[in-house]
Amino acid sequence: MAISKVFEGIRIADFAWVGVGPLVSKYLADHGAEVIRIESSVRPEPLRRAPPFANDEPGLDNSGYYADFNSSKKCVSLNLQHPDGVKIAKRIVEHCDIVTESFTPKAMRGWGMTYEDLCEVRADLIMISMPMYGLTGPWSMWQGYGHVLQAAAGISHLTAYPGEEPIGTGVAYTDFLVPHFAASALLAALDHRQRTGEGQNIDFGQMEAAIHATETMVLDYTVNGREQHALGAGHPDFRPYGTYRCAARGDDDDRWIAITVTNDAELAALADVAGESSWTSLEADALDTAIAEWTRSLQAEELMQLLQEAGVAAGVVQTPEDLRNDPQLEHREHYWMLDHPTMGHRAYDGPSFRLSETPAELTKAAPLLGEDNEYVYKDIVGMSDDEYVEHLVSGAFD
Amino acid sequence: MTTQTAAGPLAPFRVIDLTNELGQLAGRMLGDLGAEVIKVEPPGGDESRFIGPFRADVVDPEYSLHWWTFNANKLSATLDLTSIRGQELFTRLLATADFLVETCPPHAASALGLGVERIGASHPRLVHTSITPFGREGPYANWKATDLVGTAMGGLSSMCGAPGRPPIRPTASQGFTQASAQAVVGTLIAHYQRTKSGQGQHVDQSMQEAVTFTHDNATPTWDIRGINNGRPGNGREIGGYKSGQYVYEAADGYVAALSYGGLFGLTARQTIEWLDHHGMAEDLTSDEWLAKLDATQGLLIPPTGEDGDHLNDILVAFCKQFTRAQLVAEAQQIRNGWGVVNTPRDLLENEHLAARDYWTEVEYEEGHVTYPGPWAKLSKTPISIRHRAPRIGEHNFYVYGNLLGISDEEILQMSADGVI
């Protein structure tokens, strides 16, 4: 007997954009929820306009950036600035279990679509708002981006070469961190509704979740009065613990390996693999220099194999290309190849966990803008053909 | 400072937490959501009690701030899982639980009675989550990984640091954080399925694969353009295109701006006016530059070469003249999404977090300790920190007495025998 999908029958009106919101609803879509993205060509979802574009041709239906975050979803176009826009949006919400959004708080207030407003059309609604700084407070109307929020949350302070400027990670890091917290809160609220019938509102301030990714930074300050600092690749308690350049691979001379030692047995094993028994008594800086000289003439992948077989935690600093060829990720079937009408056969990221009985299934590539208008407006909302055409002509679906 | 009394959404459920540093945040998050989390430690204390820093730098298993951070909202029971009696007690304990979260190395799982099939057969309702460096199966399953090896093998380190210099990692373990937080999502998806089917299942979480989530647009960029987003230093790469500088030095620290601070794209004109208001727009008010920057409206990829350098030089000089607070407040007024690069002290003194009542005081015998507060505000079933991290075996009588019905005498005997 086929097991039904986990979230079969759960429908989500997804007003969110860019990274955090779409990545939250992706978790649900890839496990069977019907996620309806509500977008507009008047003010397009920014990621639809962001590279990489298929064939390097910019176009709202051609962004790989957007596509990867929106697998398994449906999409309607709806202009919320149009006189009928909000009315139509509420008619969609009436048929949904969950509303997600990630605007600054004034947007939903301006449209009359706060949690209280939307409860009037759907009493047991679960709504999650995910602005950068939350729904209230002096910064709540501030704009932001994941690359800036990692700085605001203290993560960039801890991501730098020792003593240098706080560069942060090279990605919009919190966009790929806080969705797990938001999804966890949302799933717990969904479970609560399942048991009690009660919906609720979730005020998810991205900054407040991101601070939980700073490990002991807060308590070291509040208990010890100490401000922790960035150590490059390093670790406060362990050495050697770093990245070391390896031999070139072809004409690529940017190959690196992470080698980390957390006890004497591992240090002895490292020394043994290198054939350098003196390493066990070297001072830390000298040992670092010796390791860097040693790795420079070795292939990163081969060295990783040797060290792991000897019981030393080591790993290649893998690039996106390396990951596509990684045997472990291949074993776990991480990448999904999906066909998109304009972008073709493309790789998508699946979730990082495997459920033994109800695993994720990426059922389709990202939706075209407005791809599901007829289905949503007629079959779900219940518009007649005439009404549908009337809204179409008036520009409500722009 | 809030005191919340309403129960969290997972209040009806019990979690057995058998995690090391790789997965401790997962149990903490489930506890924050209201579940009763029982951390099972070996007699003498869990190894993660010896991870620093320590309170007042006193190395003591009850003073690890790592332990305090990740084990608030948990109870502690000691148990020797390597003994037959210990395994028998563990099986009885699991029978009372809804979730098991563990970080057992795959090669050791069977010996400890944590094999997936065995757990599934004896506890079919249980949601059993394994968090391991590479996953429970596959060619790397038995390889070791620290946090740096996780961020390297999962690809994040290849996008952290400066070109030509060693790849780095955040000095707060993101491999562990990502693995734990994503494991909670998987666990709650399995839990939701159980509410419909009555059946539990196994959730196999890999740290390496969790780190691949952090790549921004690197997967489609490689897939479509055959370009690896690399280490951008003080900047970013989008779709294989380098952005401008992101972090600028202010008079009293650093600010994070968009590339070129908004001097290209939608807010270019307002940004020039802002600089001009302070007499620092240089030649950007010229017709030539206005036309040039107007043409960048709607672009996400900034100018490069001489133009980029010129914009950047102007912004570097501008930012040095003002405090972080002034720069960010004024930037936000013209809808440039700048932010302060906050230090720990900045965060604790931050007016916005204070206004939102973010920080939570947690009571220890040694005094109140300020913790980061709830990571989401749920209106009906609030997340909260209900109690401090436990001392070694602090809840043995509750766990073995109240939950398993073992007499006080027998518990004391088990303790004397080294079983608990």
Task: Work out the mean pLDDT of chain B and round it to a whole number.
Answer: 94
The one catalytic residue in A14, A175, A288, A372 is A175
Geometric angle at alpha carbon B22, from B18 and B25, rounded to 5°: 75
Determine, for residues A315 and B221 on separate chains, whether the beta-carbon distance falls below 8 Å: no
Taking the CA of residue B344 and the nearest CA in chain A, the distance in Å comes to 6
Taking the CA of residue B242 and the nearest CA in chain A, the distance in Å comes to 10
Average pLDDT over residues B380-398: 97
Report d(CA B154, CA A318) in Å as an integer.
7
pLDDT for B263: 85
Average pLDDT over residues B186-214: 97
pLDDT for B1: 38
| Residues of chain B neighbouring A250 (CB-CB closer than 8 A) | none
Q: If contacts are CB pairs under 8 Å, which of residues 230-249 in chain A contact chain B?
A: 230-238, 241-245
Q: List beta partners, residue A82.
A: none
Phi, psi (deg, nearest 5) at residue A336 = -115, 135
Reduced to 3 states, what is the DSSP secondary structure of residue A143? coil
Pairs across A and B, CB distance < 8 A: 524
pLDDT in tens, A319-353: 999 999 999 999 999 999 999 999 999 999 999 99
Average pLDDT over residues A263-281: 97
pLDDT for A217: 98
Q: Which residue of B has its CA nearest to A312?
A: B144
Q: If contacts are CB pairs under 8 Å, which of residues 186-205 in chain A contact chain B?
A: 187-192, 194-195, 198-205
Report d(CA B302, CA A232) in Å as an integer.
28
For residue A3, pLDDT beyond 70: no
Element (H, E) at B25: helix B24-32
Cis before A240? omega within 30? yes
Query: The domain B14-214+360-416 belongs to what CATH superfamily?
Result: Crotonobetainyl-coa:carnitine coa-transferase; domain 1 (3.40.50.10540)
Q: If contacts are CB pairs under 8 Å, which of residues 135-194 in chain A contact chain B?
A: 136-145, 147-161, 165-173, 175-177, 180-185, 187-192, 194
pLDDT for B305: 85
Mutate to test the interface with A, among B21, B33, B62, B65 (most CBs of A within 10 A): B65
DSSP A142: -
pLDDT in tens, B301-348: 777 789 889 999 999 999 999 999 999 999 999 999 999 999 999 999
| Residues of chain B neighbouring A183 (CB-CB closer than 8 A) | 185, 188
Taking the CA of residue A352 and the nearest CA in chain B, the distance in Å comes to 5
Determine, for residues A358 and B190 on separate chains, whether the beta-carbon distance falls below 8 Å: yes
CATH of domain A11-212+331-394: 3.40.50.10540
| Residues of chain B neighbouring A158 (CB-CB closer than 8 A) | 170-172
Task: Work out the mean pLDDT of chain A and round it to a whole number.
Answer: 97
B369 Rama class: left (phi>0) / alpha (psi -120 to 50) / beta: beta
pLDDT for B300: 66
| Residues of chain B neighbouring A150 (CB-CB closer than 8 A) | 256
**Domain-by-domain residue ranges, chain A?**
11-212+331-394, 241-324
Mutate to test the interface with A, among B48, B129, B148, B333 (most CBs of A within 10 A): B148
Taking alpha carbons only, the member of A318, A93, A389 closest to residue B159 is A318
Reduced to 3 states, what is the DSSP secondary structure of residue A243? strand
pLDDT in tens, B109-168: 888 888 888 899 999 999 999 999 999 999 999 999 999 999 999 999 999 999 999 999
Q: If contacts are CB pairs under 8 Å, which of residues 282-301 in chain A contact chain B?
A: none
Report d(CA B157, CA A241) in Å as an integer.
13
Whether A388 has its CB under 8 Å from any CB of chain B: the answer is: no
For residue B175, pLDDT beyond 60: yes
CATH of domain B246-348: 3.30.1540
Taking the CA of residue B341 and the nearest CA in chain A, the distance in Å comes to 4
Average pLDDT over residues A378-396: 98
Architecture of the domain spanning A241-324: 2-Layer Sandwich (3.30)
Phi, psi (deg, nearest 5) at residue A162 = -55, 130
Handedness of CA B227, B228, B234, B236 (dihedral sign): positive
pLDDT for B4: 45
The two tokens of residue B20 are: 């090391």
- Strand pairing of B367-371 and B202-206? unpaired
Average pLDDT over residues A82-110: 97
Strands ordered across the beta sheet of A313-316: A241-245, A256-260, A313-316
The two tokens of residue B295 are: 């043409």
Position with higher pLDDT, B293 vs A379: A379
Q: Are A177 and A208 in contact (CB under 8 A)?
A: no
For residue A2, pLDDT beyond 60: no
pLDDT for B142: 96
pLDDT for B267: 86
Residue at token pair 């794209």:
B265
Determine, for residues B369 and A223 on separate chains, whether the beta-carbon distance falls below 8 Å: yes
Q: Are A110 and A89 in contact (CB under 8 A)?
A: no
**Domain-by-domain residue ranges, chain B?**
14-214+360-416, 246-348
User: How many other C-beta atoms can be found within 10 angstroms of the C-beta atom of residue B406?
Assistant: 19
**R_g of chain B computed on alpha carbons:** 26
pLDDT in tens, A133-172: 999 999 999 999 889 999 999 999 999 999 999 999 999 9
Report d(CA B409, CA B418) in Å as an integer.
14
For residue A279, pLDDT beyond 60: yes
pLDDT for B298: 67
Average pLDDT over residues B1-7: 54
Reduced to 3 states, what is the DSSP secondary structure of residue A241? strand
pLDDT in tens, B64-107: 999 999 999 999 999 999 999 999 999 999 999 999 999 999 98
The two tokens of residue A80 are: 């919320």
Whether A30 sits among the annotated catalytic residues: the reply is no
Average pLDDT over residues B27-46: 97
Determine, for residues B65 and A220 on separate chains, whether the beta-carbon distance falls below 8 Å: yes
Taking alpha carbons only, the member of A230, A176, A250 closest to residue B156 is A176
| Residues of chain A neighbouring B341 (CB-CB closer than 8 A) | 151-152, 156-157, 166
Taking the CA of residue A202 and the nearest CA in chain B, the distance in Å comes to 5
